Amino acid sequence: MAQFPSDFDWGFATASYQIEGSASLGGRGPSIWDTFCKLPGKIRDGSSGEVATDSVRLYKEDVALLKSYNVKAYRFSISWSRMIPLGGRDDPVNPEGIAFYRSLLEELLRNGITPYVTLYHWDLPQGLHDRYGGWLDKEEIVKDYVNYAKLCFDSFGHLVKNWITHNEPWVISCLGYQKGVFAPGHESNTEPWIVAHNAILAHAYAVKLYREQYKPVQGGQIGITLDCHWQIPYDDSPENIEAAKKGIDFKLGRFADPIYKGYYPERVKKIIDDRLPEFTEEELAVVKGSSDFFGLNTYTSQLVQEGGTDETNGYITVGHTRPDGTQLGTVGAKNICVVNPPGFRSLLNYLWKTYQKPIYVTENGFAVKDEHKMTISEALRDKDRIEYFEGYANAMLQAVTEDGVPVKGYFGWSLLDNFEWADGYEARFGVTYVDYATQKRYPKESAQFLSKWFPEHTSA
Ligand code: BGC
């Protein structure tokens, strides 16, 4: 039977604001998501991450669940404002926050689970947003981010060998500053390009610091996680073939090309023109080559047609209905939930061919349609999610064993149902059902499936 090599890591991923709760407890300062959730109409069910899955209190239960699922690794993110409540380099740190993450890390390690730690999964300290506009101020945010990263390396670097700087800078910039549907809710056609540029710089300077001062002693690796859905031309017309390439450049190339190759993609430059900031020579030297691996979050594939009004994707139109009316795959709770394993295999091949870096799939998962309306026992029989994971895991195995793509790890999204951003609690991505009234956790059938599938398909 085809298998991953023995050092292949697999597990589940989560993010601080989506699971931690205790948002106003333990000395944590507010983040832009706490503020955004209070704006009327922004969150579908009017909820917030104030309690979420209460994981600051229940983290030992979460680790026990991970253990029961036979995982080798767990990816979670640190809340910047739990570490430094106001966020800045001259602001006080929060000893309780440091102690919490240390306990979580120790609990993971005691259970033989390797931590993968994300520094930034969208929860910017509100203090920095108020002080100077957060991601919009290059000089300030880069210094404050690097200072925050340093605190994390100092506090946890002896326990953590896998660091991820940012989760999905496309979402940070486009959904936060262009479409206004995520925190901080800005709508602009200049800000997203500034924010993205500054996020790349903050990432790169944190990596520089890690490589110079920590890696030689701690021996870990550090990289960034980008998101992309595989882009399939709607038909074989030359313009739709070109549109699919443009779709990838606007979603992924705009970050990956500077980071792995040292320049912005031509297709992006052509449309964004002088709204696209430039790197100085000195910055470019830090940005180029600033990721040890390719962190990929991917959920589905999209059919792409040229034309449309959306600048975040370069004026293309995406969907999942083929010209003959059939769907790309089983459809779930959101437009990013459509089962299409062949697209995943193509994407992995594309990334390896284009960027030549080992790949970690840092998120991949599926929310079953209407699961939030089901009874617990109905939700536990999540056959569409099993179809998804079975298809994606096999496609990845083929990419590794047949195509020679070096995928080194895989994290299902998510360990638990959790606060799904603007969808509140109305989309459930977990392999574990969370009854929010009691905070009781119930493994879904997909959890059982994956806990067997990966050990069976990884050599000892
Ligand atoms: C994000 C997660 C989110 C998931 C499902 C990813 O883009 O990193 O935080 O919950 O998608 O929407």
Per-residue pLDDT 10s for the chain (460 aa) are 999 999 999 999 999 999 999 999 999 999 999 999 999 999 999 999 999 999 999 999 999 999 999 999 999 999 999 999 999 999 999 999 999 999 999 999 999 999 999 999 999 999 999 999 999 999 999 999 999 999 999 999 999 999 999 999 999 999 999 999 999 999 999 999 999 999 999 999 999 999 999 999 999 999 999 999 999 999 999 999 999 999 999 999 999 999 999 999 999 999 999 999 999 999 999 999 999 999 999 999 999 999 999 999 999 999 999 999 999 999 999 999 999 999 999 999 999 999 999 999 999 999 999 999 999 999 999 999 999 999 999 999 999 999 999 999 999 999 999 999 999 999 999 999 999 999 999 999 999 999 999 999 999 9
Give residue 296's pLDDT: 99
Give the H/E segment covering residue 9.
strand 9-13
Contact assessment for residue 42 and residue 36, using Cβ atoms and an 8 Å cutoff = yes
Q: Which fold has domain 9-456?
A: TIM Barrel (3.20.20)
DSSP letters, 272-341, are HGGGS----HHHHHHHTT--SSEEEE---EEEEEE--S-GGGTSEEEESB-TTS-BSS-B-SSTT-B--H
User: Cβ contacts of residue 186 below 8 Å, gap of 6+?
Assistant: 176, 177, 178, 180
Q: What is the whole-number distance in angstroms between the Cα of residue 222 and the centre of ligand 1?
A: 21
Q: Which of 116, 120, 421 has most ligand 1 atoms within 8 Å of CB, for mutation?
A: 421
The catalytic residue among 283, 363, 371, 387 is 363
Both structure tokens of 416: 């638990």
Q: Which of 75, 79, 168, 363 has most ligand 1 atoms within 8 Å of CB, for mutation?
A: 363
Q: What is the whole-number distance in angstroms between the Cα of residue 211 and the centre of ligand 1?
A: 28
Both structure tokens of 267: 């297709």
Q: What is the whole-number distance in angstroms between the Cα of residue 255 and the centre of ligand 1?
A: 18
- Give the residues across from 4 on adjacent strands: 458
151/157 Cα distance (integer angstroms): 9
How, if at all, do strands 301-306 and 407-413 pair? unpaired
81/142 Cα distance (integer angstroms): 16
- Give the residues across from 9 on adjacent strands: 409
> In the annotation, is 363 catalytic?
yes
Give residue 5's pLDDT: 98
Q: Which pTM does this prediction carry? A: 0.99
